[in-house]
Amino acid sequence: MLRRMRLYTEQGVTADMRISQSSFAARRQQLMDQMSPGSVAVIPSAKEVARNRDVEYPFRQDSDFYYLTGFNEPDALLILIPGRNEGQVVMFCRARDPEMEIWNGYRAGPEGVCNQHGVDQAYGCAEIDERVPQLLQGSERLYYSIGTDETLDGQVRDWLNSIRKQARMGAVAPGEIVMLDHLLHEMRLFKADDEVEMMREAGRISAEAHVRAMQQCKPGLTEYQLEAEITHHFAVNGCRQPAYSSSVGGGDNACVLHYTENWDVLKDGDLVLIDAGCELEYYAGDITRTFPVSGKFSTEQKAIYELVLHVQQACIDAIRPGVPWIRIHNISVEVLTQGLVDLGLLKGDIEGLIDTGAYKAFYMHRIGHWLGMDVHDVGDYKVDGDWRPLQAGMVMTVEPGIYISPQNELVEEKWRGIGVRIEDDMLVTEEGCENFSAGVPKTVAEIEALMAR
């Protein structure tokens, strides 16, 4: 369930949406129901990372930890012990500290964590080394995602060793360590109703930001000024951080897949490619649009653009439960290769051009990725060695592109330096799919009409 509060901003009323505590509790229970009997899970929060003297990068909670807790502080550790009489959910967190709180802000402390986050027992970080071995003791299996945090890996080893030292007193350390990722990431791959609602909203805000950029764009503006239009719209809607570094690339810069310098001047006659999405309450939007800086496509730009759009539509039309994920990618390769041949940019038979990978000179990435709390979200793409079929509740991007390098001497000069990507965020539904990012235009006629206004 989503909790909604009304916020009043200069732009009007926006909704501050939150996932409710009952949802976080239900997720923890769902995970514990799948853990093997006699097991325990250890899930760490993110840490603060220094940027330079006395300044940290903006704190962003670890997605797995937030998914299970809704708790937004660093230096915390969640322990899940299904079936434990004294409480299944234990948290270690920063203790309250009046002086630190005057300097750096409010801390929930163990009591706050119990009251506000539905945790059964909570302790300050100082008690970790004493208490965690007691909590792990007696479990047969430890779910812990080893290899992400070296310091914590060492601490876990020390906790296990301290239990082993007590063997003659009857203490038993878990004999098996298993990655938690599979169980947890399979849950995150399928979006519940409240997550869908949040992602729909993230898509809506992200789409509005792209519309704003199209409206504000004109020759002479810099890429960073156009980026600022996007960032502004995210921020006034409660998304202070984008889901990833926004890419605003004019002209040749559109051919750099993850261009983030955003420093050049936008020129009359060029296209600009914007790949930007907001992060709303830990859920990502991920939209790309490509449009003419001065509002009107040239003949070649239009030809490439319409081919990419045609590829994207063919992929979107194919999305429905049961279709293997890789089929959507393969459709993009087939339709795009045929289109490049029709335009004279590739020569040869379609099958051969696909088999040899000749199309990769223009289209070098996959059709998309899972989308959720992480922009490149968790979840396996293959199950038991086979590409998995799409299922209702999955969210994926569909983002074909054609990038004609300015150095590509195999094509006529008029094509060089054109880069086009079109990206939307699709929820797989029982009937087919829903586009979260439909609010931003993408046909040539719609874009030219919007920019002419």
Please indicate whether residue 210 is annotated as part of the active site: no
Q: Which is nearer to Mn ion, 275 or 374 (CB)?
A: 275
Please indicate whether residue 97 is annotated as part of the active site: no
Q: Are 185 and 175 in contact (CB under 8 A)?
A: no
What one-character DSSP code corresponds to residue 95?
P
Q: Which is nearer to ligand GLY, 39 or 437 (CB)?
A: 437
Member of 73, 229, 281, 286 binding Mn ion (CB under 5 A): 286
Minimum distance, C-beta of residue 286 to Mn ion, in the bound complex (Å): 4
Q: Would you give the binding string for ligand GLY spanning residues 27-46, x where CB under 6 A is met?
A: --------------------
CA distance 446 to 422: 14
Member of 273, 304, 353, 375 binding ligand GLY (CB under 6 A): 375
Query: Which residue has tokens 């047969």?
Result: 140
Regarding 377 and contact with ligand GLY (CB under 6 A), the answer is no
Q: Which is nearer to Mn ion, 81 or 287 (CB)?
A: 287
Residue 214 tokens read as 């199209």
Minimum distance, C-beta of residue 49 to ligand GLY, in the bound complex (Å): 21
Long-range contacts of 162-165 (CB under 8 A, 24+ apart): 162/133, 163/133, 163/136, 163/137
Element (H, E) at 328: helix 325-342
Element (H, E) at 154: helix 150-164
Regarding 286 and contact with ligand GLY (CB under 6 A), the answer is yes
**Binding partner of residue 279 among Mn ion, ligand GLY, none, CB cut-off 5 to 8 Å per kind:** none
Regarding 195 and contact with Mn ion (CB under 5 A), the answer is no
Q: Compute the residue count for the chain.
A: 453
CA distance 420 to 23: 40
Please indicate whether residue 431 is annotated as part of the active site: no
Neighbour tally for 9: CB within 10 Å: 11
Q: Which is nearer to ligand GLY, 84 or 369 (CB)?
A: 369
Number of residues that bind ligand GLY (CB under 6 A): 7
Please indicate whether residue 233 is annotated as part of the active site: no
Q: Which is nearer to ligand GLY, 278 or 346 (CB)?
A: 278
By CB under 5 A, which span of 160-168, 188-196, 272-280, 403-411 interacts with Mn ion? 272-280
Residue 83 tokens read as 């079936």
**Among 199, 141, 128, which Cα is nearest to 173's?**
141
Q: Which is nearer to Mn ion, 73 or 275 (CB)?
A: 275
Percentages of the chain per state (helix, strand, coil), in multiples of 5? 40, 20, 40
SS3 323: coil
Minimum distance, C-beta of residue 100 to ligand GLY, in the bound complex (Å): 36
**Binding partner of residue 244 among ligand GLY, Mn ion, none, CB cut-off 5 to 8 Å per kind:** ligand GLY
Q: Are 273 and 217 in contact (CB under 8 A)?
A: no
Kindly name the residue from 359, 369, 377, 425 that is annotated as catalytic.
Answer: 369
Q: Which is nearer to ligand GLY, 107 or 210 (CB)?
A: 210
Q: Pairing state of beta strands 39-44 and 141-143?
A: parallel
Please indicate whether residue 282 is annotated as part of the active site: no
Member of 194, 281, 399, 425 binding ligand GLY (CB under 6 A): 399
What b-and-e string marks burial along 292-324, b requiring 16 or more CB atoms within 10 Å of the CB? bbbbbbeebbebbbebbbebbbbbbebbebebe
Regarding 275 and contact with Mn ion (CB under 5 A), the answer is yes
Q: Are 257 and 296 in contact (CB under 8 A)?
A: no
Regarding 397 and contact with Mn ion (CB under 5 A), the answer is yes
> Within 13 Å and on the Cβ side, how many CA atoms surround 425?
32
Minimum distance, C-beta of residue 319 to Mn ion, in the bound complex (Å): 15
Element (H, E) at 383: strand 382-383
Regarding 370 and contact with ligand GLY (CB under 6 A), the answer is no
Minimum distance, C-beta of residue 1 to Mn ion, in the bound complex (Å): 29
Minimum distance, C-beta of residue 284 to ligand GLY, in the bound complex (Å): 9
Member of 275, 279, 424, 425 binding ligand GLY (CB under 6 A): 275
Tell me the sheet residues that pair with 402. Answer: 420
CA distance 419 to 352: 24
**Interface ranges with ligand GLY (CB under 6 A):** 244, 275, 286, 369, 375, 399, 423
Interface with Mn ion (CB under 5 A): 275, 286, 397, 423
Residues acting as catalytic residues: 54, 258, 275, 286, 365, 369, 376, 399, 403, 421, 423
